[in-house]
């Protein structure tokens, strides 16, 4: 009888757990032809610091034995067509928390030159000294930098990062990508979501932002953003030089070590051993998958 009563009480008042999170969206691809760097994916976090210069997010109170949706956003592809803007990154989602994909870096073609808006904005192309896209400041990321046009020097602006704006091109230097945010949710400090550096014609390419941002190019193809960092790809150089692809996002969850996580179908993740009163789940791939705790 006591077991039946206990089960009824638990059904009416299911156990809860407090879950900290890092949710990073996919970074954007860089544009092509003296192009802007891709913007980093939006970053939302409850531990150490969050994106866009905002206050820390609030941990979620969740129910045990209940499924919660997870999606890890893919990185945006660099433009496959000379002169076009890079593709924006894909949003990442955990339960009620959505981080916005990074904005693509601007390319040389008219109508493609400005950086796209996103979690962090893409950098503007060198042609017409185009402006960067905006980021979701205060909660996810920063805007991209402006390009520079001073024939024969054309320089792309840097893609925005989760922790800083992408640099505006100046002199003979393309803009560097904005730096990413460092968080200790795993138990050690790791930086995510750096912006991609701008590409250059007759000048110096921009460096990628900290946390995995790809460097811009002065020849060949620019550097891609790092996988599972949410970082932007670098901008391409002139004469059909292509940008780098954006890096895929990541989700990391921290919860009491008395609980264990279950990954649903299609979710690629690992659970750490208990440490400091917590376990951590690192999810590197998922499309509308689910997780639950027991």
Q: What pLDDT does 13 receive?
A: 58
**pLDDT tens digits for range 22-66:** 999 999 999 999 999 999 999 999 999 999 999 999 999 999 999
87 phi and psi angles, rounded to 5 deg: -75, 145
Pair 103, 122: CB distance under 8 Å: yes
pTM metric for this prediction: 0.95
Does residue 10 come out as left (phi exceeding 0), alpha (psi in the -120 to 50 range) or beta? alpha
Q: What is the pLDDT of residues 73-93, one digit of tens each?
A: 999 999 888 889 999 999 999
Contact 264, 290 (CB under 8 A): yes
* Count of CA atoms in the C-beta half-sphere (13 A) of 8: 5
- The predicted model gives 234-238 an average pLDDT of 93
pLDDT of residue 144: 98
List CB contacts of 166: < 8 A, sequence separation 6 or more: 36, 37, 39, 115, 120, 121, 123, 132, 142, 143, 144, 145, 157, 158, 159, 160, 175, 176, 177, 178, 195, 198, 209
pLDDT digits (tens, 9 = 90+) for 171-206: 999 999 999 999 999 999 999 999 999 999 999 999
Q: Is 278 helix (H, G, I), strand (E, B) or coil?
A: strand
CB atoms within 10 A of CB 276: 9
Give the chain's end-to-end CA distance (angstroms, integer).
24
- 6 pLDDT tier (thresholds 50, 70, 90): very low
């Amino acid at each position: 009888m006591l077991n039946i009563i206990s089960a009824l009480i638990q059904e009416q008042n299911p156990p809860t757990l407090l879950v900290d999170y890092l949710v990073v969206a996919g970074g954007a691809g860089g544009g092509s032809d003296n192009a802007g760097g891709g913007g980093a994916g939006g970053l939302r976090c409850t531990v150490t610091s969050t994106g866009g210069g905002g206050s820390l997010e609030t941990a979620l109170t969740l129910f045990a034995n209940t499924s919660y949706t997870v999606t890890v956003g893919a990185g945006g592809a660099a433009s496959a067509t000379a002169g076009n803007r890079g593709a924006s990154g894909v949003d990442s989602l955990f339960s009620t928390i959505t981080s916005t994909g990074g904005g693509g870096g601007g390319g040389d073609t008219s109508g493609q030159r400005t950086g796209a808006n996103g979690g962090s904005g893409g950098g503007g192309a060198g042609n017409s000294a185009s402006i960067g896209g905006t980021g979701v400041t205060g909660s996810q990321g920063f805007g991209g930098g402006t390009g520079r046009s001073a024939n024969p020097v054309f320089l792309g602006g840097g893609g925005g990062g989760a922790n800083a704006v992408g640099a505006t091109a100046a002199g003979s230097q393309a803009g560097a990508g904005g730096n990413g945010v460092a968080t200790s949710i795993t138990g050690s400090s790791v930086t995510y979501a750096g912006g991609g550096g701008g590409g250059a014609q007759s000048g110096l390419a921009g460096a990628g932002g900290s946390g995995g941002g790809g460097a811009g190019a002065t020849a060949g193809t620019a550097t891609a953003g790092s996988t599972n960092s949410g970082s932007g790809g670098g901008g391409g150089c002139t004469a059909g030089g292509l940008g780098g692809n954006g890096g895929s996002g990541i989700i990391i969850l921290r919860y009491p070590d008395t609980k264990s996580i279950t990954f649903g179908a299609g979710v690629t993740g690992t659970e750490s051993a208990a440490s400091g009163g917590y376990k951590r789940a690192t999810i590197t791939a998922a499309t509308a998958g689910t997780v639950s705790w027991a």
